[in-house]
Amino acid sequence: MKTAVVCGAGGFIGGHLVRRLKHDGFWVRAIDLKPHEFSASAADEFVLGDLRDRGLCHNVIDRQFDELYQLAADMGGTEFIHAGMYDAEIMHNSMTINLNVLEACRRSSTKRVFFPSSACVYPQRNQCDASRPSCAEDTVYPAEPDSDYGWEKLFAERLYLGYGRCHGLEPRIARYHNVFGPEGAWSGGREKAPAALCRKIVQAEDGEAIEIFGDGKQTRSFLYISQCIEGTIRLTRSGVGEPLNIGSEQSVTIDRLADLIIEIAGKKLFKKHIFGPTGVRGRTSDNRLIRAKLGWAPEECLQEGLQLTYAWIQDQLRNRPR
C-alpha cells in the first residue's frame, strides 16, 4: 500500500486532499495544530502537533513515505496578509515549518514532496492593470511580491528547489491562485473574498447593502477546490520539477463576483464600497505552462463552485450555535 503524509490536514485544502488520497488507496498520516474544523478527517492517523517543533517533525516523518504534501502555513485572505501586523509571525512560522519538514524528509529519504506556493509571489509591477495582469511563471524575477507572505513563499520555493538539487529530493511546486469551496474558512478574519461575500450575502436581507473593500474593480480569478486537488495530484505524480500555476484563467472583478453570488442567493442587494485592503489591482492565472507540461489545466467552474460554496456557508450559519 502506498503511503502519504499531509501536513496541514486540519485545514481547507489539506482536508480535501486527505479524502482524495484515501480514495486513491493510500495509507495517510495527517498532522495539524488542530483537528479539522468542519468534518472528521479521513486520515488513517491524525497527529495533533506543531510542525515548528523539529523533534515532532522527525517523529512524524520517521520513514520513507511515497508522497508528502506540506500544506501547513499561517494563512489568510487579504485582511490577514496585508494587515502588516502579522508579517513577522507569517514569515517565522511558515519558514520554520518548511525548514523542519525538509530536514525530516532528507533524513527519512522521503523524496516526492509537494509544496503549495502562491500567486502572491508575482511582482506588483505586472499586476497594476486590472484588465491585463501578467502571471506567467517566468515573470517571477526580478522579485517584487506585494506582501511578506509572498516573499516567504518565494524563498520557500528556492528552499525546496535547493533540497532537490543538493539532497536528491523531488520537490513539486504549485503556485495556487485563490482556491475556494466548502470547508474553507468563512469567518474570523482569515476568510478569502468568495467565502466572505457568501457569508455577507447569506446574512443580508433584501434591500440591504453588502460592504466591499475598494472600488470593486480589482480583478482576480478563483479556483474551485476539486480542480485544485486534481492539479495537485497530477503535478505531484508528474516529472515536472519547476513551479507551475494552478489557478483559473477566468478573470472577474470583485463586483462581478459579488453579483454572481447575489444572483445565486436570489436577493435584491446593493454594494457599498468601503476603504480596506485590496492587494494588487489585477491577478489571474496563466495556464500556458501547465497545459504544455501536464497536458491538463483546471476546468472553469466558477458559477457551479460558488453555488456549492454558498449552500455550504448558508448551512454553516443555520447550524451555528446561537
Catalytically active residues, by annotation: 149
Length of the chain counted residue by residue = 322
- Distance between CA atoms of residues 252 and 258, nearest Å: 10
- Contact criterion met (CB below 8 Å) for 241 and 170: yes
Q: Is 121 in the site for ligand NAD (CB under 6 A)?
A: no
Question: Could you tell me which of 229, 214, 97 has the C-alpha nearest to residue 159?
Answer: 97
Minimum separation from the CB atom of position 5 to ligand NAD (A): 12
Interaction of residue 258 with ligand NAD, rule CB under 6 A? no
From the CB of 115, what's the least distance to ligand NAD, in Å?
A: 8
C-alpha–C-alpha distance, residues 163 and 174, integer Å: 16
In the complex, minimum distance from the CB of residue 270 to ligand NAD, in angstroms, rounded to a whole number: 28
| Cβ at position 28, least distance to ligand NAD in Å | 15
* Cβ atoms of residues 16 and 72 within 8 Å: no
Asked if 97 touches ligand NAD (CB under 6 A), the answer is yes
CB of 303 to ligand NAD, least distance (A): 18
Q: Assess 60 for contact with ligand NAD (CB under 6 A).
A: no
How far apart are the two ends of the chain, measured CA to CA in Å? Answer: 45
In the chain, how many H helices and how many E strands?
10, 13
Give, for 5, the enclosing helix (H) or strand (E): strand 3-7
Please check whether residue 292 is in contact with residue 174, taking contact to mean a CB–CB distance below 8 angstroms. no
181 part of the interface to ligand NAD, by CB under 6 A = no
Q: Which is nearer to ligand NAD, 69 or 310 (CB)?
A: 69
46 binds ligand NAD (CB under 6 A): no
Closest CA to 83 of 19, 22, 148: 148
Give yes or no for residue 146 binding ligand NAD (CB under 6 A). Answer: no
- Based on the shown chain and the rule CB under 6 A, indicate whether residue 157 belongs to the binding site for ligand NAD: no
* R_g of the chain computed on alpha carbons: 19
Task: Give the position of cell 513577522.
Answer: 88
C-alpha 106/C-alpha 47 separation (Å) is 21
Q: Which residues pair with 180 in a beta bridge?
A: 224
Q: Nearer Cβ to ligand NAD, position 35 or 84? A: 35
Residue nearest to ligand NAD (CB): 11
- Least Å from the CB of residue 229 to ligand NAD: 11
122 binds ligand NAD (CB under 6 A): no
The residue among 15 and 269 lying less far from ligand NAD, judged by its C-beta, is 15
Site string for ligand NAD, 6-45 (x = CB under 6 A): --x-xxxxx----------------xxxx-----------
Provide the angle, in degrees to the nearest 10, between the axes of the packed helices 302-319 and 193-203.
50
183 binds ligand NAD (CB under 6 A): no
Asked if 90 touches ligand NAD (CB under 6 A), the answer is: no
Helix, coil or strand: residue 75: coil
How many residues touch ligand NAD under the rule CB under 6 A: the total is 26
Q: Which residues bind ligand NAD (CB under 6 A)?
A: 8, 10-14, 31-34, 50-52, 71-75, 93, 97, 116, 118, 176, 178-179, 185
